[in-house]
Amino acid sequence: DIMAQKRGVNSLQFNQDQSCFCCAMETGVRIYNVEPLMEKGHLDHEQVGSIALCSMLHRSNLLAVVGGGVNPKFSEISVLIWDDAQEVRDPKDKLVLEFTFTKPVLAVVSSLHLKIGMTCFYVFFITVFAFVGLCELCPSLEKQLLVFPGHKGGSLQLVDLSNTKPGTSSAPFTINAHQSEIACLALNQPGSVVASASRKGTLIRLFDTTTRDKLVELRRGTDPATLYCINFSHDSSFLCASSDKGTVHIFALKDTKLNRRSALARVGKVGPVIGQYVDSQWSLANFTVPAECACICAFGKNTSKNVNSVIAICVDGTFHKYVFTPDGNCNREAFDVYLDICDDDDF
């Protein structure tokens, strides 16, 4: 993406409740609050060099970063943990931990686990350096579920981290989700539902993480596409997805009757292939961002009972907020260029 290269954005990632997002750049790291949009902190190029990945632990000052890009200071096989709250003379002293692996780190997810009855807490930084860097960790403190693509193409593997013990291994549960390789996945906030899409990118399938049953199948479109992001609303009533078509789709999950159906649905099935197409649930609403511009998307704060919002953060430095209603109306409420926003206050 030429525009992304110009602005120097290598990757974007929301924190666990989507209230903040990290921007890994050629010039370091920038952390933003989503609503209201403002920069909350940064690590400059002199401190960390160019960064390929950045993960934020909830709304804490702990950041996991991986070097990469044009001028990195750190290896692509290492995950560095920074404590941005530390008051130190030498900025390098903000580096509190370093994990080194044998292969390049392609994804970093983080989780906070509280030990009941104890004053201390444990921070788990889970890194995955296979399967094209796909993995999701349940954001809830009540469930420690890790999901990632399986060895068999199109399958998902689920691991309950609360049952794992040092020096032992346990067999993950498997869901046969798609016929081709997994390209995008997401967990809802409680970790009860997983959503996935294949490299074909036409369908999004949702599964119960306990029973492994398929719950619903959503159609993004008929043409193949690369999905960049899937996210649930906080109450799991809606799901949003972005792709290289430049469109962010919004689906209803709690009341699936709100989703659009093909006009051919009134005719009835005329064959197995066309029947699958006719029965598909299409998005309730959608909006567009710059075509083919990679972006992450998530649901914003509810403005009223019948009005919800979706936010898209693009690698070209733009911020988009759209509001939608249950009848499918979707309108832009805000637009900004987050890379032009200066540091607001201490993070």
- Which CATH number is 13's domain given? 2.40.128
Checking if the pLDDT of 119 tops 80, the result is no
When divided into structural domains, the chain yields a total of 3
Looking at the structure, do residues 213 and 227 belong to the same domain, yes or no?
A: no
% of the chain exceeding 90 in pLDDT? 54
Q: Do both 104 and 158 map to the same domain? A: no
22 found inside a domain: yes
pLDDT reported for residue 269: 53
Contact indicator for 186, 232 with CB cutoff of 8 Å: yes
Nearest to 230 by CA among 215, 216, 220: 220
Structure tokens, 138 = 């349940």
Last residue of a domain, one of 129, 164, 188: 129
134 domain residue, yes or no: no
Q: Are residues 112 and 214 in the same domain?
A: no
Whole-number Å distance between alpha carbons of 306 and 45: 44
Q: Which of 61, 70, 59, 55 is nearest to 17 (CA)?
A: 59
Same domain (yes/no): 245, 164:
no
Which of 83, 108, 129 corresponds to the end of one domain? Answer: 129
Token readout for 347 is 């993070």
Average of pLDDT values for 223-230?
94
Residues 187 and 87 in one domain: no
Same domain? For 212 and 246 the reply is no
Whole domain around residue 338: which residue ranges? Answer: 223-347
Q: What is the DSSP string of 200-250?
A: T-SEEEEEETTT--EEEEEE--SS---EEEEEE-TTSSEEEEEETTSEEEE
Indicate the pLDDT class of residue 201, thresholds 50, 70 and 90.
very high
Cβ(315)–Cβ(7) below 8 Å: yes
Same domain, 233 and 265: yes
What does the pLDDT average to over 214-234? 94
Same structural domain for residues 153 and 212?
Answer: yes
* Res. 316: pLDDT tops 80: yes
- Of 115 and 25, the structure prediction assigns the larger pLDDT to 25
Q: What is the mean pLDDT of the chain?
A: 83
Residues 239 and 251 in one domain: yes
d(CA 182, CA 152): 10
**Looking at the domain assignment, is residue 158 inside a domain?**
yes
Strand, helix or coil for residue 323: strand
Clarify whether residues 12 and 116 are in a common domain. yes
Asked whether residue 274 carries a pLDDT value surpassing 50, the answer given is: no
* Distance, C-alpha 58 to centroid of its chain: 13
More confidently predicted of 275 and 247: 247
Q: Let me know whether 186 and 227 are in one domain.
A: no
Q: How far is CA 270 from the centre of its chain?
A: 38
| CATH of residue 247 | 2.130.10.10
User: Within this chain, do residues 180 and 277 fall inside the same structural domain, yes or no?
Assistant: no
Alpha helices in the chain (DSSP H): 2-7, 45-48, 272-278
Q: d(Cα 73, Cα 271) in Å, to the nearest integer?
A: 58
Residue 105, pLDDT score: 87
Task: Write down which residue in 189, 219, 249 finishes a domain.
Answer: 219
In a domain, residue 4? The reply is yes
Q: CB under 8 Å to 265, separation ≥6 — which residues?
A: 278, 279
The pLDDT of residue 212 is above 90: yes
Which candidate, 175, 283, 268, 179, places its Cα nearest to that of 222? 283
Q: Which residues contact 136 (CB under 8 A, 6 or more apart)?
A: 109, 146, 147, 148, 185, 186, 187, 194
Count Cβ atoms within 10 A of the Cβ of residue 21 and give its class: 0-12 exposed, 13-18 middle, 19 or more buried: buried
